Amino acid sequence: MTLRKDFLWGGAVAAHQLEGGWNEDGKGISVADVMTVGANGVERRITDGVLPNENYPNHEAIDFYHRYKEDVALFAELGLKCFRTSIAWTRIFPKGDETEPNEAGLQFYDDLFDECLKYGIEPVITLSHFEMPYHLVTAYGGWRNRKLIDFFVTFAETVFKRYKNKVKYWMTFNEINNQSNFLEDFAPFTNSGLRFTAGEDREQIMYQAAHYELVASARAVKIGHEINPDFQIGSMIAMCPIYPATMKPRDIMKAQVAMQRRYWFSDVHARGHYPSYLTAYFKRRGYHIDITSEDKQDLAAGTVDYIGFSYYMSFAVKDTDNGAGFDYDEARELIRNTYVEASEWGWQIDPLGLRYAMNWFAERYELPLFIVENGFGAVDEVVDGKIYDDYRINYLKAHIEQMKDAVEIDGVDLLGYTPWGFIDLVSAGTGEMKKRYGMIYVDKDNDGNGTLNRSKKESFEWYQRVIASNGEIL
Ligand code: P53
C-alpha cells in the first residue's frame, strides 16, 4: 500500500491565530480576543473583556483577513491540495445567541473559499477552534450550560447550508480533549469557555461541558449529512500518546488509565456511546452528569466519519499513588521521557509516536484518519534575508516517514496530512509570534512590531517537493 493518489497534502491554521480583524464587519469578541500575550513558561492571562493597555496578539494576528488573496496565491505555489482553517463563530454569530447570522461574516468565508477553490485547494473546516463567542461565557457560563448545544447547532447548520457546495471535510471541536487538563485555566477556557470559582469541582464541570459538546457535535454530524450526504465530518483530538515510565505493571496500568482519561472523548465521537470505564469512574467519584436519554440517542445517531487529530509529542507517566483507581492528574503527573529530545518549549519530539498513535486510533475505531496538525515550534533567525530551518524540515520529514510506515506497513487508512501553522501565526498556548511553525515567514515579533511581510523559508521548497512527489521525495 502507498499513500492515496488523492492524498490531501495541506496546511493547517485557525481563524483566530491568523485572521486579525477582530472587530471588523460585525465580528463579536471571542475567547481568543481576551487572552493576553504570554511567553515560554508564562501563561497567557484571561482578562474580563477587552481592556485598554493590554497586548492581545489575536486582535491583529497576521492580518490574513485583509491579505488572504496574496496568501492563498502563496499556498497555491506551495502546492497545497487542501487548506485547513476554522470559521470564526463570532463573524457569523457575534454574540453566539442570535437567531440571524451576520451576512458580512458569511461573505468573508464565501470569498476565502472561492479563492482557495480557484487554485484547486480544498477547504477543510473546523467549526470551533478555541474561539467561541465571549458573550456565551459571560451570559451563560460557557459550555457548562445546556443552551449552548442549540447555539452551536444553529451555527453549524448555518455554515453547512451556506458552504455545502464548497466544503466537504469538516471537524466539530478542535482538540476537544485538551480540557482533560482541567486544573490549568487555558484548556477549559479555550475549549469550553469555562471559568471557575474557588471551591468548584473543575473535573465534574469539565465532564458536563464536554458532554454537551459531544451532543452538539453529534447533532451537527446528523444535520450535516442531511444537508449534504457527501460531507465528511470528523472529530479533532489532540493525540499525545501516554507511555508507561517503566515495565512495572503499575506503570503500565497507570498509562492505560491515563489514556482513558484523555481519549474517552474520541470513544464517544466514534462509537456513539459512553465507554463503561467512564461511567464507572463517574459513579466512583459521585459525579451526576446531566445525560438524558435524548442525548444518548443523539450521540448514537451522529458518530463521526473520520478521526481528525493533531500530533506534536508523546507523554509519559509513572504510578506514584498506589491506589486501586489509578487516578491520574495530567497537570502534575507527566514525566520527562529521557529517550527522546524536546523542543525549546519542552514538547517531546517522538516521530515513532505518530505511527503508534495512528495504529492506536485505527485499531480502536476502524475509521479513516486525518492528521490535521503536526509541526515544530521553534525560533527562526533571518540570515542574509533567508531562514534556513533544517530543524523544522528534519522534524517534518521524520514524522512523514513514520506516517508512511503506518500506511504502507501497518495498513492504516489515511486521508491527508496538514502541517500546523505552515504560515507563521500566533501561538495558541503562549500567544507568541516567536514560537514559529511556518514554511512561510511572517515579519512580526511578540510585541507586535514588524512589516507583516511574507517570505519563503527553506522548508517551503522542501514541502513543495514533498507534495509534488506525493511523499516520495523527502
Ligand atoms: P502552540 C497543547 C497541546 C497540543 C496541541 O500549539 C495544542 C495545545 C495548546 O497549546 O494546540 C494545538 O500554538 C492547537 C493549535 C495550536 C497548536 O496545537 O501552543 O490546535 O491551535 O496553535 C500548537 O504552540
Q: Supply the angle between the helices 64-78 and 103-118 in degrees, to the nearest 10.
A: 20
Quickly list H helices, 185-327.
Answer: 186-192, 202-227, 249-271, 276-285, 293-301
The answer as to whether 2 is a domain residue is: no
Residue 59 domain flag: yes
**CA-CA distances (angstroms) from residue 298 to 273, 276, 295, 302, 471?**
10, 18, 5, 6, 39
Say whether pLDDT at 1 is over 80: no
Section 409-426 average pLDDT: 98
**How many domains does one find in the chain?**
1
- Which of these, 406, 344, 350, 410, lies nearest to 374 by C-alpha position? 350
Catalytic residue among 43, 373, 408, 432: 373
Q: Which atom of ligand 1 is nearest to the CA of 430?
A: 19
Q: Give the pairing type, strands 440-442 and 454-456.
A: antiparallel
Tell me, what's the pLDDT at 330? 87
Residue 114 — very low, low, confident or very high, per pLDDT cuts 50/70/90? very high
Task: Report which protein residue has its CA nearest ligand 1's atom 14.
Answer: 428
Averaged pLDDT for residues 244-253: 97
pTM over 0.90? The answer is: yes
Angle at 439 between CA 438 and CA 442, to 5 degrees: 60
Q: Is residue 454 part of a domain?
A: yes
The pick from 427, 434, 436 for probing ligand 1's pocket by mutation, whose C-beta has the most ligand atoms within 8 angstroms, reads 427
Question: Is 474 domain-assigned?
Answer: no
User: Within a domain: residue 363?
Assistant: yes
Alpha carbon of 175 to ligand 1 centroid (Å): 9
Q: Atom of ligand 1 at shortest distance to CA of 420?
A: 17
3-state secondary structure of 56: coil
Distance 130 CA to ligand 1 centre (A): 10
Q: Measure the CA angle with vertex 14, ends 12 and 17; round to 5°.
A: 120
Q: Whose CA is nearest to atom 8 of ligand 1?
A: 429
Any catalytic annotation for residue 363? Answer: no
Cα–Cα dist 127/156, whole Å: 7
Quick check: 332 pLDDT over 90? no
- Show Cβ contacts of residue 24 under 8 Å, excluding neighbours closer than 6 positions: 65
pLDDT of residue 331: 83
| CB hemisphere CA count around 175 (13 angstroms) | 25
Residues 420, 438: contact at Cβ < 8 Å? no
Cell of 192: 469550553
C-alpha cell, 314: 508523546
The whole-angstrom distance between residue 133's C-alpha and the CA centroid of its chain comes to 17
Residue 129 predicted with pLDDT over 90? yes
Distance 178 CA to ligand 1 centre (A): 9
Pocket of ligand 1 (CB under 6 A): 14, 17, 130, 174-175, 178, 238, 310, 312, 373, 377, 420, 427-430, 435
The pLDDT confidence band at residue 321, using thresholds 50, 70 and 90, is confident
- What whole-number distance in Å separates Cα of residue 309 and Cα of residue 360? 12
Place of cell 506516517: 403
Mutate to test the pocket of ligand 1, among 240, 373, 432, 434 (most ligand atoms within 8 A of CB): 373
Cell numbers placing 207 = 465532564
Q: Name the strand (E) or helix (H) holding 466.
A: helix 458-468
CATH number of the domain residue 253 falls in: 3.20.20.80
Tell me the Ramachandran region of residue 349: left when phi exceeds 0, alpha when psi lies from -120 to 50, beta otherwise. beta
What residue ranges in 129-198 does DSSP mark as E strands? 169-173
Q: Is residue 431 part of a domain?
A: yes
* Neighbour tally for 309: CB within 10 Å: 27
Which residue's CA is minimally distant from atom 4 of ligand 1? 238
Residue 397: enclosing H or E segment and its boundaries?
A: helix 390-408
- Atom nearest to 426 CA in ligand 1: 13
Distance CA 256, CA 271 (A): 19
Question: Buried (b) or exposed (e) across 242-275, using 16+ Cβ within 10 A?
Answer: bbbbeeeebbeebbebbbbbbbbbbbbbbebebe
Does the ipTM exceed 0.95?
A: yes
Q: Which three cell numbers stand for residue 359?
A: 495504529
Residue 1 belongs to a domain: no
pLDDT tens-digit map of 347-375: 999 999 999 999 999 999 999 999 999 99
Q: Taking the alpha carbons of 349, 389, 471, 456 in that order, is the dihedral positive or negative?
A: positive
Residue 68 confidence (pLDDT): 98
Give the mutation target among 310, 372, 418 for probing the ligand 1 site: most ligand atoms within 8 A of CB: 310
> Nearest C-alpha to atom 24 of ligand 1 is from which residue?
427
What average pLDDT does the structure give for the chain? Answer: 97
Atom of ligand 1 nearest to the CA of 240: 4
Q: Average pLDDT for residues 420-440, to the nearest whole number?
A: 98
Domain-located, residue 346: yes
CA of 428 to the centre of ligand 1 (A): 5
Please enumerate in sequence order all residues whose Cβ is within 8 A of that of 32, keeping only pairs 6 or more positions apart, or say none: 16, 17, 58, 130, 131, 190
pLDDT, tens digit, 9 for 90 and up, residues 297-307: 999 999 999 99
Q: For residue 155, what is the DSSP state?
A: H
Question: Which H/E stretch holds residue 135?
Answer: helix 135-140
Q: How many angstroms separate the CA atoms of 374 and 309, rounded?
A: 9
Determine contact, residues 460/388, Cβ cutoff 8 Å.
no
**Shortest-distance Cα residue to atom 5 of ligand 1:** 238
CA distance 100 to 98: 6
Determine the structural domain holding residue 392 and report its residue range. Answer: 8-469
